[in-house]
Amino acid sequence: MRLLASAPSAGATWLSGTLLVAAVLALGLLITGPALRRRHPVAWWFCVGFPLVCLRVASTWRPLMAGCGLAVSRKPALTLVSGLVGNGTAPPQPRVPRRSGIRPTPGGFWFRVRLLPGQVPEDFVKAAPAMAHDWGVHAVRVAVWKPGVVRISASAADPLKNPRIPRQRGTGRLLTVVVGVLEAGTAWVIDLRRIPHWLIVGATRSGKSTLINALVAGLAPQPVALIGIDCKGGMELSLYGPRLSALATNRAEAVKVLAALVGETQERMALCRAHRVRNIWGLADGVRPVPIVVIVDEIAELFLIAGRGEKDEAQAAATSLVRLAQLGAALGVFLIVAGQRVGSDLGPGVTALRAQLGGRICHRVADPGTAEMTLGDLNPDALLAAQAIAPEDAGTAVLASADGWERARSHLLSEQEAESIAAEYAHLTPRLPGITDAAGGITVHLERLDPSE
């Protein structure tokens, strides 16, 4: 009898102890929660935020799908009798799309949903704002995972307001640069080997120059040649002078440099043909020529025509850029074209060039036509997101490619930092005699590389 009496007592003691520990933990989280969220947001999210949002998603999934018109009645014919399914019988629950388990990310979560017959991904895209409101998160994005399945990802807060941008350590992978942070909270990486040519647009103080600073700072420590074309007298790109193999500061110089680059691609083409490879990456290390990254700042200055005498120069520049974009990816020549505005009024060459620039980055722009020209042919949702960028969101951009689109924010790198980084790695500047001579300019830092000449 004593043993039987002691068993409930031990169970009650264990239960009360468990409740006490749970109460202490809950009280501790309540007290330290705000400080933990402020100082260690990722830890707070995994410990507190993610479990709570999982409960919200699980409890609201069925009514949310029904409210958004994404639930399907199990017996559609019963609707013809005003919902009377039987005497005293509850109506059957509608079918809702089946979802997978919820998986956390450093700043949100994601899961997959299998579509019901007759549903398309656009139905879930329209319901994304309702999902964000019901779950109390910053934004919900819907993307196609595979036919019949969509991936729903959510950001608990806007990671672009106070981004924790990971710094790139060392030189990293060749032609790959970490320039900022994506809306998903991961690093924004520009990989020129994957997407070789980029178009970057943005109004004054929108963050375009900051992004170029971050790109040059990331490429400077790498064994690549940087060539600048800045038809505003070199006001922007001259900061990187010590690290540039050539710099064209007006359209006449730009035409010569671009023509020399086209000639360089012809030589590389012959080299690949002689070694029976399809691109320079198939060549041996001792034979492979140095990759070249061409940065064109303010494309409008290169294409605008003030008189009849400038028409031939503008056309020659456009033709060379299009040829480089068509041939450059396989031959190690990459284009980064930037400008405040891009439009068909600059001439047919702009439209032809845009078609070859697979990566697009749109900051806040002054006219809707530029955003349309940059993103309209890739994704209408990306275009709407770019047009919604506010003036106070400097550095925020929408990047798009054939793979999809993302909101992102570039790392704030000052002109002084970019200038010092260019000077620090000046000794890595490759000598490209034909292109340097075509520029007719900055070669002082190159002479130190070959004192015998």
pLDDT, tens digit (0-9, with 9 covering 90-100), for 399-411: 988 778 888 888 8
At 94, list the tokens: 């509608």
pLDDT, tens digit (0-9, with 9 covering 90-100), for 352-389: 888 899 899 999 988 888 888 888 777 788 888 888 88
CA angle 412, 415, 419 (to 5 degrees): 120
Partner residues linked to 198 by β-bridges:
336, 359
At a CB cut-off of 8 Å and minimum separation 6, what does 166 contact? Answer: 178, 181, 187
Q: Tell me what pLDDT residue 4 has.
A: 47
At 304, list the tokens: 């605008």
Q: Tell me what pLDDT residue 442 has.
A: 42
Q: Which residue reads 């940059």 in tokens?
A: 374
Q: Tell me what pLDDT residue 444 has.
A: 31
Taken in order 361, 364, 366, 369, is the CA torsion positive or negative?
positive
Confidence of residue 266 (pLDDT cuts 50, 70, 90): very high
Q: Tell me what pLDDT residue 201 has.
A: 93
Integer CA distances (angstroms), 431 to 17, 36, 246, 441, in order = 74, 52, 9, 13
Q: Which amino acid is at 61?
A: W
Residues shown for the chain: 453
CB-CB neighbours of 445 under 10 Å: 18
Helix (H, G, I), strand (E, B) or coil at 310: helix
